[in-house]
Chain A
Amino acid sequence: MKTSEEVKEDMLEVYPAKVARKRKKSIVLNDPAEVPEIQANVRTIPGIITQRGCCYAGCKGVVLGPTRDIVNLTHGPIGCGFYSWLTRRNQTRPGTEEGNDENFMTYCFSTDMQDSNVVFGGEKKLKQAIQEIYDNFHPKAIGIFSTCPVGLIGDDVHAVAREMKEALGDINIFGFSCEGYKGVSQSAGHHIANNQLFKHVIGNSEPEEKTGKFRINILGEYNIGGDAFVLEELLEKCGIELISTFSGNSTYKGFEISHTVDLNTVMCHRSINYVADMMETKYGIPWIKVNFIGAKSSAKSLRKIAEYFDDAELTARVEKVIAEEMLAVEESLKEVLVKTKGKTAMLFVGGSRAHHYQDLFEELEMKTLAAGYEFGHRDDYEGRRVLPNIKIDADSRNIEELTVEADPEKFSPRKSEEELKSLEEKGLSFRDYEGLMPQMDTKTMVIDDISHYEMERLIEDLKPSVFCAGIKEKYAVQKMGVPLKQLHSYDYGGPYAGFKGAVNFYNDIAMMVGSKIWDLIGAPWEKDKSLPADFVNKESDAKERSA
């Protein structure tokens, strides 16, 4: 087995000098005690095969995609709307018992921009399309998502949104300048989505009645494969009222009243920390980082919430739920550990999953050899303490930073300074995320925006038992004889969140690392050394082709 230093050398060897100089800083050998600096959230080098997508994908696909009753209208040529049509596994359930509320997630809406619109402008077509959505569907809200040409030809989606909102009267319409070329990855799109939700939706209305003693939001949970359903059930069992999830299994109304909670809990720090920060400033709602991936992390997160509310009854109920849920978890671990213990994993995905899922692998007693994000920032690797030291480059500067102030009427600190301080002293940390690197072992490899080339070297050199990434990597890695677990789509399995999700994950990984099919790679005559060398005639095929 090669050392991490040798693997890094292997990865950089082929690169042109300029590329090697740049990539070197994004490939780091970890030291959890003294976390080294990693280069992240910088441009991908042209010609490098990358996992990353674009700003539009982060905005429309990730953050706004999972909400059932907002019509998402893509303003642009047909492709962007088409590719983001139902391809993320955001599940949704009706908000009413009759199930008669709106659900537009199964639809794709596009202005299908043509060359004449590019030449003469697309605003007229956009207005007409909004009118037609109104006439055919009459939704509560429409979001307009800009694709690359929109910004270049200068269509003002925000002006169109304002104008049509006023003209139609009983509908909220807001635009997103999330052209694909903005920023360096999906991450820019998350930020833009956060900003617009904050400006145009959050705080728009009050709940009909304010129920429940322990009211929270979950931010950065997108209900892939039903994760949010598991968490909804879990919180209900604990007596914690979930007002809104951003944005798994969410509704427009849920967003509007989300400012009435007493605590924001943040799952995916990367995609939603902006909303958490802004809500704290404007409304006085503190936020804590949680992680419901992994049984132990789920227990820890529930305890954090209980600690925050500091209520004996809630604490007792949470402990009871944890104890109940852990029974099935422990039962399952007894079965799967035989198959998983001592195996290894690598995780290259997203902006939080490459960290969160390490907890599940720890529970399976599998070592994480290497990990990295597709669109993380330095704070997601090294922790939020590095925030003041992050240099803002041109690509980040182009993304609007909202200036937020305390709302003159709605600001009300949920906890006093003293209360917060006392909670901090007890070990609860606010506005904090410790990042991925402090959790990983010494000399494990941390790689930001891994290239396809680097991924193949990593697999060849360190031969993990399972590799976690996305659809674009899935079959290339499996062709190498290594099972790949998709952590965007869960390979259409899951849910993986909470205690129940943990058990699902254990079983799926045990299946993958224990599958016998990998042993059947290669025909027996290819492996039989007693056969003459020309028994397997690889040439004949080539000859036939050229004949």
Chain B
Amino acid sequence: MLLKHTSKEIKERKALTVNPAKTCQPVGAMYASLGIHGCLPHSHGSQGCCSYHRSALTRHYKEPVMAATSSFTEGASVFGGQANLLQAINNIFTIYDPEVVAVHSTCLSETIGDDLQQIIVKAKEEGKVPEGKTVIFAPTPSFVGSHVTGFANMTTSMAVQLAEKTDKKTDQVNIVPGWVEPSDMREIKRLLKLMKVPFVMFPDTSDVLDAPMTGKHEFYPKGGTRVSELKTTGSSKMTLALGKWGSEPAAEGLKKYHQVPFETLDIPLGIRATDRFLHKLSEVTSCPVPQSITDERGRLVDMITDMQQYLYGKKVALWGDPDQLIPMTEFLLDIGMQPSYIVSGTPGKAFEKRMGDLLGDVVPDAKYKNGERADMFLMHQWIKNGGCDLLIGNTYGKYISRDEDIPFIRMGFPILDRVGHSYFPFVGYTGAMRLVEKILGSLMDYQDKTAPEEKFELVM
């Protein structure tokens, strides 16, 4: 047994987190920054933060993840990191020549109270930021929120700090996709293009973290939202924020500073969330949903009607980020499954409310929790008590999967041991078909593996 110390008996914990279902803010800020074209993320803290975040993202994408660090030493920690950041900005522009440097803080620089804005102003005054180049920043203290908070903070900064003031609004819609994979961002763009919607999407990691092999390392791959595009976000007619946690803060920022109205929707995972996204998009832009997309939806519903008996009543455990978990729970209910155990380390009261609304009457004994100590250890204990048919979450689920012999689908961050997530989406109707295919594949493989010989089926 790999997790042999996980007992069935649940003892209340007030301080200890075991096997977290979250990580810290800066990695989210780094991921978001990579969705700006020509951007070098910069971690203002100890070297280890930058090293850990680059390693985590690299293992997840199997792609280069370039980022710089302020390399704090004990001296910088005592006297402040200003000198380190000033020197870093100068070195980065001289050596690595990015269009944008996106600086995020860490628990170290936040604890000592470094003021990123003031330091960046000073760097500009001292001529360390070349003409035409940009530095943006986001405070990302690791002791607040989670990796999703860091993603949201940097996404907010890239919009609010770059959007230019205009009097006239354009027909363009801002799309904030939230923390999804490059494949998902590509899929969202495909749908928007099919609908002929004028849009700017940020951040956009497609063509950055799924770059082709060419024999040359493109330090700044061709993807990412352009600074020129980000400048126009203030004059867009509307912002659609996909996900309350990852995307709404950026939309709120654009409303506050540039009077861009916004609407928050779920990430388009599953049938209904995709319906709401396309419907709303069509409503605000007057662009009709083309038949080809409606056909994709039809194929998805068709596939589910064909295979219902394999899905019905199956208990699912889920862990990850609220913006994914909420539409996933809705979709699993739609296809007849029972989301039964759900944890997210990311705090926020709206989670409990949404889950309650979705699960309350349908799966009355469902257990869900978010925030501190809503960890995978607790989820595993719930599973030990109530049984489970399918696990959906990041790679760390493989230990539970093996110990308890439960089929497992990888989704979320990080996925360290499989490929595919960066190339094939889960969002939209086509993405949902991939998800259903994966769910059926793992449940049916399990049935094939465990069925007694006389019950082994050729046709299923």
Contact of B74 among A47, A398, A542 (CB under 8 A): A398
Contacts of B385 on A, CB cut-off 8 Å? none
Contacts of B46 on A, CB cut-off 8 Å? 54-55, 148, 180-181
Per-residue B-contact encoding for A473-512, CB less than 8 Å = 1, 0 else: 0111111110000000000000000000000000000000
- Inter-chain CA distance A47–B47, complex, in Å, is 10
- Inter-chain CA distance A82–B142, complex, in Å, is 12
Per-residue B-contact encoding for A170-199, CB less than 8 Å = 1, 0 else: 000000000111111100000000000000
A481 smallest CB distance to B (angstroms): 4
On chain A, the number of residues with a Cβ less than 8 Å from chain B's Cβ atoms is 94
* A52 interfacial by beta-carbon distance below 8 Å: yes
Chain A residue nearest to B81 in the complex (CB): A46
B65 touches A47 (CB 8 A): no
Chain B residue nearest to A87 in the complex (CB): B55
- Inter-chain CA distance A521–B218, complex, in Å, is 15
* A128 interfacial by beta-carbon distance below 8 Å: yes
A47 touches B59 (CB 8 A): no
Task: Name B49-82 residues within 8 Å CB distance of A.
Answer: 49, 51-56, 58-59, 62-77
- Inter-chain CA distance A542–B91, complex, in Å, is 30
A136 touches B143 (CB 8 A): no
Chain A residue nearest to B84 in the complex (CB): A46
Per-residue A-contact encoding for B1-43, CB less than 8 Å = 1, 0 else: 0111101000101111111101111110000000000000010
* B141 interfacial by beta-carbon distance below 8 Å: yes
* A351 interfacial by beta-carbon distance below 8 Å: no
* Contact A472-B55, Cβ < 8 Å, known A77-B107, A148-B45, A479-B216: yes
B252 smallest CB distance to A (angstroms): 21
Contacts of B65 on A, CB cut-off 8 Å? 472
- Inter-chain CA distance A250–B241, complex, in Å, is 50
- Inter-chain CA distance A474–B433, complex, in Å, is 33
A151 smallest CB distance to B (angstroms): 8
Contacts of A475 on B, CB cut-off 8 Å? 58, 62-64
Chain B residue nearest to A48 in the complex (CB): B91
Most B-side CB within 10 Å, residue of A73, A114, A126: A114
* Contact A479-B218, Cβ < 8 Å, known A79-B26, A114-B372: yes
| Binding-face segment, B207-215, B254-262, B448-456 | B207-215
| Binding-face segment, A105-113, A239-247, A304-312 | A105-113
* B88 interfacial by beta-carbon distance below 8 Å: yes
A46 touches B85 (CB 8 A): yes
Task: Name A24-52 residues within 8 Å CB distance of B.
Answer: 43-52
A81 touches B20 (CB 8 A): yes
* Contact A471-B95, Cβ < 8 Å, known A102-B5, A111-B16, A152-B111: no
- Inter-chain CA distance A73–B16, complex, in Å, is 9
A133 smallest CB distance to B (angstroms): 6
* A19 interfacial by beta-carbon distance below 8 Å: yes
Contact of A110 among B2, B17, B112 (CB under 8 A): B17
B18 touches A107 (CB 8 A): yes
Contact of B143 among A16, A113, A151, A185 (CB under 8 A): A113
Contact of B108 among A85, A110, A181, A522 (CB under 8 A): A181
- Inter-chain CA distance A125–B16, complex, in Å, is 8
B71 touches A45 (CB 8 A): yes
* B106 interfacial by beta-carbon distance below 8 Å: yes
